[in-house]
Structure 1
Amino acid sequence: MTKTILITGASGGLGAEMARQFAALGHDLALCARRTDRLERLRSDLLADHPGRRVEVRALDVNDDDQVFEVFRGFRDDLGRIDRVVVNAGLGKGAPIGTGGFAANRQTAMTNFVAALAQCEAAMEIFRAQDAGHLVMVSSMSAVRGMPKAMTTYAATKAGVAHLAEGLRAELHGTPIRVTVLYPGYIASEMNDGVAAAENKLMVSTEKGVRAMVAAIEKERESAFVPTLPWAPLSVLLKHAPLPLFKRLI
């Protein structure tokens, strides 16, 4: 069944690859991001590969609250309805707290949590009016437990958005509105181009990682660590390991 899927942060990385894979599955797309030149190229590629699909694009800075609502409502008006919203836009900046990196940490907190809240508000406004929809929150493996150093703020925001989605799921249980939280591990993307070599051992390609994400989304899983191996078992270890072992693991 064809769905209309809105993806934020769709101009590159995981968002662009999700668009490619959803189009291949026969879905129509509403794609938004700041880099409209990339969005237009992606739209052209998708329509060339899948001429039967509908792909709409709009500029969006997720930190502009008013624009978030305007763009989501505009897509809804253009396409008639929005069946699924993937809250994907995010930022990976950060510095150890107390080391002079407040500006970077604040920017990450505002983009990854406050802007995600605005996206949830705009999506849920549409879904409540439709009495149907599927909200997908892209969290992170770092949400499993507080992370040290430059990851501290990022991990906290990803835990925050996961709880935001889980709270909605509890409220909406038994209704036609579904909520999925994804916890990706190391998936190659623009955000993690500079990860350490040790972390690269667990890195999978963008295509493979997003395939696991899309499979979980299509099944409307409540939550999923993706790819399942090694991240589902590692999530248990990371959450419950004694602190000395945890510090060695990360």
Structure 2
Amino acid sequence: MINLEGKKAVVTGGTSGIGLETARLLLQLGADVALCSRDAERVKATTQQLQEAYPARRVLGQACDVLDAEQVRSFAEQVRQSFGAVDALINNAGQGRVSTFASTTDEEWETELRLKFFSIIHPTRAFLPLLEQSSEPAIVCVNSLLAAQPEPHMVATSAARAGIKNLVRSLASEFSVKGIRVNGILLGLVDSGQWRRRYEAREDRSQSWEQWAGDLAKRKHIELGRLGRPEEAARAIVFLASSASSYTTGSHIDVSGGVSRYA
């Protein structure tokens, strides 16, 4: 069992999906958690919910757009005042863009590349001084299988995700002298608001979520025959953020249910 008693963790995009499940698991294992997202009301509600569920832990929430460097610096300062050092930074990037090369405009390319890169660059830069004060610092970046297995209908996101995979390896090398480990996970298809919205727009209204998701898994050739669950991704993230993976850096865990075909 991983024991995170006394540890301090930061989760960006921590109010829903994988980010929320990661925050919840960190708290279960004994860590204090700071989380952020852009929606102030959601941050407030999530922080209250988690604090009530884990009264022995400290939960800090702040509205923050990770693409705004000043907002991220403000968030980091709040964390410094409340927690001091930070032991784990979880960079939980946003959703993908469905578009082909022909249909993706220059502006859309710039938006997608900026989102994927600076959602990692800004928090990493802001929290680096706090990570340097930890005895077991770790950074975990939530990435996609598209980084290694691109899809033509998601060309901009695939390219950006590949760049993030490279960035993780570069940061791992640069930060190794500071004792900071940097790793990531490569997600396949995970149950999310995005897939739930597609389910709600389904043509066959008689299909249950389980039937619809099962058919999707078959079409996508997912060997485990289902979509992943956010908590399954969270377990891989927390493993990489903890001392259980103390000799692992610059790597990625595949969390795709067997859909990966890359070497």
TM-score bracket for the superposition, by shorter chain length: 0.7 to 0.9
> Does the CA-based 8 Å contact 1:30-1:55 persist in structure 2?
yes
- Contact preservation (8 Å) 1:139, 1:183: yes
The 8 Å contact of residues 10 and 33 in structure 2, kept in 1 or not, is answered as yes
1:106 aligned residue (103, 110, 113): 110
Is 1:7 matched up with 2:11? yes
Q: Which residue of 2 aligns with 1:76?
A: 80
Cα deviation 1:61-113 (Å, max 9, x = unaligned): 11112211221232122212211111103232242123254444432221111
Amino acid paired to 1:3? K
Instruction: Report the counterpart of residue 206 of structure 2 in structure 1.
Output: none
CA distance in 1, matches of 2:81, 2:94: 25
Deviates most, 140-149 or 24-33: 140-149
Q: TM-score, normalised by structure 2?
A: 0.79
Q: 1:176 pairs with 165, 175, 179, which one? A: 179
| Residue 64 (structure 1) aligned to one of 57, 61, 68 | 68
> Which of 45, 50, 53 is the aligned partner of 1:49?
53
Q: Distance in 1 between matches of 2:152 and 2:10?
A: 33
Are 1:90 and 2:113 an aligned pair? no
Paired-residue identity, %: 25
Residue 219 of structure 2 is aligned to residue 185 of structure 1: no
- Alpha carbons of structure 1 residues 192 and 105: separation in structure 2 relative to 1, 3 Å: farther
Alpha-carbon distance in 2 for matches of 1:175, 1:104: 36
Partner of residue 238 from structure 2, selected from 214, 224, 229: 214
Gaps of 5+ in 1: 241-250
Higher relative contact order (CA 8 A, sep 6+): 2
Cα distance between partner residues in 2 of 1:101 and 1:94 = 12
Gap change, CA 1:226 and 1:192, over 3 Å in 2: farther
With over 3 angstroms needed to count, the CA separation of the structure-2 counterparts of 1:179 and 1:15, relative to structure 1, is same
SS at match of 1:230: coil
| Cα distance per residue 1:207-250 (max 9 Å; x no partner) | 2332333334333343343437526xx3xxx334xxxxxxxxxx
Give the letter aligned to residue 19 of structure 1. A
In the TM superposition, what is the alpha-carbon distance from 1:143 to its structure 2 partner? Answer: 0.5
Does the 8 Å CA contact 2:51/2:57 hold for their aligned counterparts?
Answer: yes
C-alpha deviations, 1:185-228, integer Å up to 9, x for none? 22212244438822374412222332333334333343343437
Which residue does the alignment assign to 2:229? 205
Q: Which residue of 1 aligns with 2:163?
A: 160
Q: How many residues align?
A: 234
Tell me, yes or no, if the aligned pair for 1:87 and 1:119 is still in contact at 8 Å.
Answer: yes
Which stretch of structure 1 is more off in the superposition, 198-207 or 58-67? Answer: 198-207
Determine the structure 1 residue equivalent to 2:253.
225
Change (3 A) 1:128 1:47: closer
CA contact (8 A) 1:91 1:108 kept: no
Say whether the 8 Å CA contact 1:123–1:135 is kept in structure 2.
no
Alpha-carbon distance in 1 for matches of 2:165, 2:126: 17
Stretches of structure 2 lacking an aligned partner (at least 5 in a row): 200-212
CA contact (8 A) 2:60 2:79 kept: yes
The CA RMSD over aligned residues, in Å, is: 2.5
Deviating beyond 6 angstroms after TM superposition, the runs of 4 or more aligned structure 1 residues are none
Q: CA deviation at 1:12?
A: 1.0
Bigger fraction of residues in helix: 1
- Distance in 1, matches of 2:114 and 2:92, equals 14
- Paired position in structure 1 for 2:22: 18
